[in-house]
Amino acid sequence: MEVDADANAGGGGSSSPSSPPQEAQEASVLALLEGPSDERRLAGLYLLARTLKPSSSLSMRVLAALPPAFMHRLMSANDTSQVAVTILTALCEHPEAVHHETVRALIPTATRLATTAEDADIQLDAIALLALIPATTDPHGKLREALLKVLRTPTHRLTAARRQAALALTANLASKEWLAAEPPFAATVAAVVRAEVPVALGEGASATVIASLALVDALVEVLAEDDDEALPVTVLQSLEGACSDALAYVADAATPRGDLDVAIIRTLANFLAECPLALGATAPAALPALFHRAQGVGGDACAASLLPYAALVAAHPPAKKALRSASPCIASLLGGDAPWRVKVLEVLSVAYADLELDEHAEIAMRLSEHAASSPAEPTADNHARAVFDATISSCLKNERVEEVLILTACVCAGAASECEETPSPSALGEVLARADAALTRIGGEGTEDLASMAFALENVRARLSSR
């Protein structure tokens, strides 16, 4: 398809001493795109590519002015297919644009280019376009074949952007059925992820890392349902290697990296919950650092994603001590009616007995706040009682009972008000008596919290005597 002279003239092809204002350039582009001829529309696309970086609003106006049939003809013609795909990709970099009806109508055409184009550059550009479009599907497995070819291409023969696009499209399409349908393909994807993760982490290529992690999540889901062991053992080995590199990166790095850290932590949580022994002693040892980093970069919800693995660690004696320094952070997840509070109490009820007495103080405060603010819930209360009982037992065995013991008494009051049965009356009575003695002993030291502790202790008696 050739561009006629009139179209070029209308597109403002002649040079001028100064560039026209952005609004004038946009108006010229849109006027050309509105036709009436294909030649004028093509001139408008060339002008758009040469002079403008489409904004979100301009992208939507351009797509509204482009008939899908016209774009289909451009993408199907040898001499215009690449420019058409390149411009469409630039428009689809805006999230609103990928849902436009013109884009959705062109998915089959882009898929055909991605799977059958003889020109490797056009094929890769079509893959990059499809990676941006959530609605892309692969009902006949054609894209899987094309992606397999691309993923097997030596790294030095692809630009980083194109390789990342291939990984992203693979991640978008990687449902359980899609990966499980061809075990050798799953093995290839796992091997590519294993090779990509350390390189991308070293280069700071966050997009490539996140696309690779999405594939790890998809492969873990396939592993979880691989009851007949159809997947090659190399899949798990590759995932172990990739997750080991990711774990070392996020646990050792001094500077948080926001979304990248969150993606790594969530993928590690998913992998370790399914394969808790995969990384040996390395993962339990890194768990405290992971909890602190997760809460710092992603808040409570990100930290809570580690709880299923923490529960497995807590129940495994050789690894259990790794939870000690993470326990205060875990206890801080008890706020309000958070959906993960039962899991927090489950972890603490197992891990609590291994904590040092000074660590009890911080957790006791969290538990006290939890008991005062959370609605009664049988499962949660059962786990809470286990923690309270461990607290009492530990305090009775130690000399250092002052603040810790008083806080523990407050916690036990919460337990008594929420549970049908109070903690052991004899043990609780001794706790209260020793707490009184502790208050008398430290009274002369002017402890700032002394008055609130004494008040809390009186509340304990009042609440228990009313039962």
311-325 pLDDT per residue, tens: 888 777 777 777 777
Q: Can you give the pLDDT at residue 438?
A: 62
Does residue 15 form part of some domain? Answer: no
Q: Can you give the pLDDT at residue 53?
A: 78
| pLDDT, tens digit, 9 for 90 and up, residues 223-253 | 888 777 778 888 999 999 999 999 988 887 6
Q: Looking at 59-73, 159-173, 312-326, which range is the least confident one? A: 312-326
Mean pLDDT within 73-83? 90
Mean pLDDT within 372-376? 52
Query: Which helix (H) or strand (E) is 79 found in, with range?
Result: none
Q: Can you give the pLDDT at residue 13?
A: 44
pLDDT at residue 331 is higher than 80: no
Residue 161 CB coordination number (10 Å): 13
Q: CB under 8 Å to 21, separation ≥6 — which residues?
A: none
Q: Of 92, 261, 238, which is closest to residue 168 (Cα–Cα)?
A: 92
Does residue 395 form part of some domain? Answer: yes
Long-range contacts of 19-22 (CB under 8 A, 24+ apart): 19/51, 22/52
Q: Can you give the pLDDT at residue 2?
A: 39
Instruction: Quote the tokens at residue 358.
Output: 């000074």
Domain boundary among 103, 136, 169: 136
Does residue 14 form part of some domain? Answer: no
Mean pLDDT within 188-195? 91
Q: Is 152 exposed, middle or buried (0-12, 13-18, 19+ CB in 10 A)?
A: exposed
| pLDDT, tens digit, 9 for 90 and up, residues 393-409 | 555 555 554 555 555 55
| pLDDT, tens digit, 9 for 90 and up, residues 334-367 | 765 677 877 887 787 666 655 554 555 556 556 5
Domain boundary among 272, 292, 322: 322
| Contact (CB, 8 A) for 331 and 348 | yes
Q: Does residue 293 sit in the same domain as residue 380?
A: no
Q: Does residue 160 sit in the same domain as residue 128?
A: no
Rounded alpha-carbon distances, angstroms, from residue 207 to 80, 152, 163, 195 = 29, 20, 11, 15
Q: Can you give the pLDDT at residue 6?
A: 41
Q: Does residue 169 sit in the same domain as residue 72?
A: no
Q: Does residue 390 sit in the same domain as residue 463?
A: yes
pLDDT-above-90 percentage for the chain: 16
Confidence of residue 326 (pLDDT cuts 50, 70, 90): confident
CATH code of the domain containing 66: 1.25.10.10
The single-letter DSSP state of residue 354 is G
Instruction: Quote the tokens at residue 235.
Output: 């899949």
Rounded CA-CA distance 208/202 in Å is: 11
Q: Does residue 443 sit in the same domain as residue 394?
A: yes
Does residue 28 form part of some domain? Answer: yes
Does residue 17 form part of some domain? Answer: no
Q: Does residue 163 sit in the same domain as residue 307?
A: yes
Domain boundary among 291, 322, 353: 322
Q: Does residue 279 sit in the same domain as residue 293?
A: yes
Q: Whole domain around residue 403: which residue ranges? A: 324-467
Query: Which helix (H) or strand (E) is 72 found in, with range?
Result: helix 68-76
Q: Can you give the pLDDT at residue 54?
A: 76
Rounded CA-CA distance 288/319 in Å is: 12
| Contact (CB, 8 A) for 6 and 43 | no
Q: Can you give the pLDDT at residue 462?
A: 67
The single-letter DSSP state of residue 397 is T
Q: Is 19 exposed, middle or buried (0-12, 13-18, 19+ CB in 10 A)?
A: exposed
Total tally of structural domains belonging to the chain:
3
Q: Does residue 113 sit in the same domain as residue 246?
A: no
Long-range contacts of 246-255 (CB under 8 A, 24+ apart): 246/197, 246/201, 246/209, 246/213, 247/279, 247/282, 247/283, 247/286, 247/290, 249/201, 250/290, 250/293, 251/286, 251/289, 251/290, 251/293
SS3 305: coil
Q: Can you give the pLDDT at residue 421?
A: 52
Q: What is the dihedral of CA 304, 306, 309, 314, to 10 degrees?
A: -70
Q: Does residue 357 sit in the same domain as residue 380?
A: yes
Rounded CA-CA distance 41/173 in Å is: 33
Average pLDDT taken over every residue of the chain: 77
Residue 136 corresponds to which amino acid? T
Q: Of 218, 227, 223, which is closest to residue 237 (Cα–Cα)?
A: 223
Rounded CA-CA distance 236/134 in Å is: 28
**Comparing 424 with 262, which gets the higher pLDDT?**
262
pLDDT at residue 17 is higher than 80: no
Long-range contacts of 176-182 (CB under 8 A, 24+ apart): 176/218, 176/221, 176/222, 176/225, 178/138, 178/144, 179/218, 179/219, 179/222, 180/222, 180/225, 180/226, 180/230, 180/231, 181/141, 181/144, 182/141, 182/144
Q: Can you give the pLDDT at residue 11?
A: 43
Confidence of residue 50 (pLDDT cuts 50, 70, 90): confident
pLDDT at residue 9 is higher than 50: no
Mean pLDDT within 57-67? 89
Q: Can you give the pLDDT at residue 163?
A: 83
339 half-sphere exposure, CB direction, 13 A CA radius: 4
Q: Does residue 198 sit in the same domain as residue 258?
A: yes
Q: Can you give the pLDDT at residue 111?
A: 92
pLDDT at residue 90 is higher than 80: yes
Does residue 208 form part of some domain? Answer: yes
Q: Does residue 287 sit in the same domain as residue 411?
A: no
Q: Does residue 202 sit in the same domain as residue 67?
A: no
| Contact (CB, 8 A) for 323 and 355 | no
Does residue 96 form part of some domain? Answer: yes
Q: Can you give the pLDDT at residue 191?
A: 92
| DSSP alpha helix (H) spans, 158-252 | 160-173, 176-180, 183-203, 206-224, 233-252
Q: Of 274, 266, 218, 271, which is closest to residue 241 (Cα–Cα)?
A: 271
pLDDT at residue 72 is higher than 90: yes
Q: Looking at 128-132, 152-156, 420-424, which range is the least confident one? A: 420-424
Rounded CA-CA distance 92/106 in Å is: 12
**Comparing 185 with 467, which gets the higher pLDDT?**
185
Rounded CA-CA distance 407/172 in Å is: 51
Q: What is the pTM of this model?
A: 0.68
